[in-house]
């Protein structure tokens, strides 16, 4: 399988990066073809400019590579922190510029954009790993878990990806090494079950 792995965290010493490395290790051992991207390291430009907006034109070579890979992907794993109940801006911009019309979705002929889109991605499984410093109960009760809605309903379901799962690890601040090792073991299990060995 072709699996796209995207990380959006500026600190390479973060737990997000530990998740990223564990994810790559499992996918490699399971013989998957990996499209791996660290958006901060790549200096991915998240700004959708006027020349791109509403057109099929892609005027950025890196964006073009990401678009070509997302079309080929059978699976996707996204790793990022929870910042204000949202993905980091660089990741939001990645969605804006890569999950674009006629690549990730399209509207029926004659529909000027007000109808229900048809998802174009061939991705069968999408997994999102989040980190947070908000306790899970507060995230759900007070904030209504906006990241679940964003990724499941607003992005992946919109683009035709039905098999979606998400795991948020919290509270990261002050967590022990022992706890983080347990979390990484869970990452290993999730990636293994979502993307088993490709024979």
The domain ranges of the chain are 2-194
DSSP category for residue 13: T
Chain position carrying tokens 């013989």:
31
pLDDT digits (tens, 9 = 90+) for 1-14: 999 999 999 999 99
Q: For residue 116, give the nearest of 161, 159, 67 by alpha carbon.
A: 159
pLDDT digits (tens, 9 = 90+) for 105-164: 998 776 666 778 899 999 999 999 999 987 677 766 766 688 999 999 999 999 999 999
Q: For residue 129, give the nearest of 75, 82, 74 by alpha carbon.
A: 82
Calculate the alpha carbon distances from 169 to 3, 31, 106, 128 in Å: 22, 27, 34, 11
* pTM reported for the whole predicted model: 0.93
Fold type of domain 2-194:
Rossmann fold (3.40.50)
Q: For residue 44, give the nearest of 61, 20, 22 by alpha carbon.
A: 61
Cβ atoms of residues 172 and 131 within 8 Å: yes
Rounded distance, CA 161 to CA 158, Å? 7
When the pLDDT of each residue in the chain is averaged and rounded to a whole number, the result is 92
């Amino acid at each position: 399988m072709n699996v796209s792995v995207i990380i959006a965290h500026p600190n390479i010493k973060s737990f997000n990066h530990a998740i990223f490395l564990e994810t790559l290790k499992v996918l490699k051992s399971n013989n998957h073809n990996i499209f791996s991207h660290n958006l901060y390291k790549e200096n991915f430009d998240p700004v959708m400019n006027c020349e791109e907006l509403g057109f099929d034109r892609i005027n950025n070579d890196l964006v073009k590579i990401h678009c070509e890979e997302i079309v080929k992907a059978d699976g996707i794993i996204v790793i990022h922190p929870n910042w204000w109940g949202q993905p980091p801006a660089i990741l939001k911009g990645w969605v804006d510029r890569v999950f674009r019309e006629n690549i990730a979705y399209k509207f029926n002929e004659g529909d000027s954009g007000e109808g229900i889109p048809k998802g174009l991605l061939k991705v069968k499984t999408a997994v999102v790993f989040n980190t947070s410093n908000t306790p899970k109960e507060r995230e759900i009760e007070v904030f209504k878990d906006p990241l679940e809605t964003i990724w499941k309903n607003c992005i992946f379901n919109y683009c035709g990806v039905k098999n979606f799962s998400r795991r948020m690890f919290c509270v990261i601040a002050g967590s022990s090494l022992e706890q983080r090792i347990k979390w990484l073991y869970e990452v290993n299990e999730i990636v293994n079950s979502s993307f088993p060995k490709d024979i």
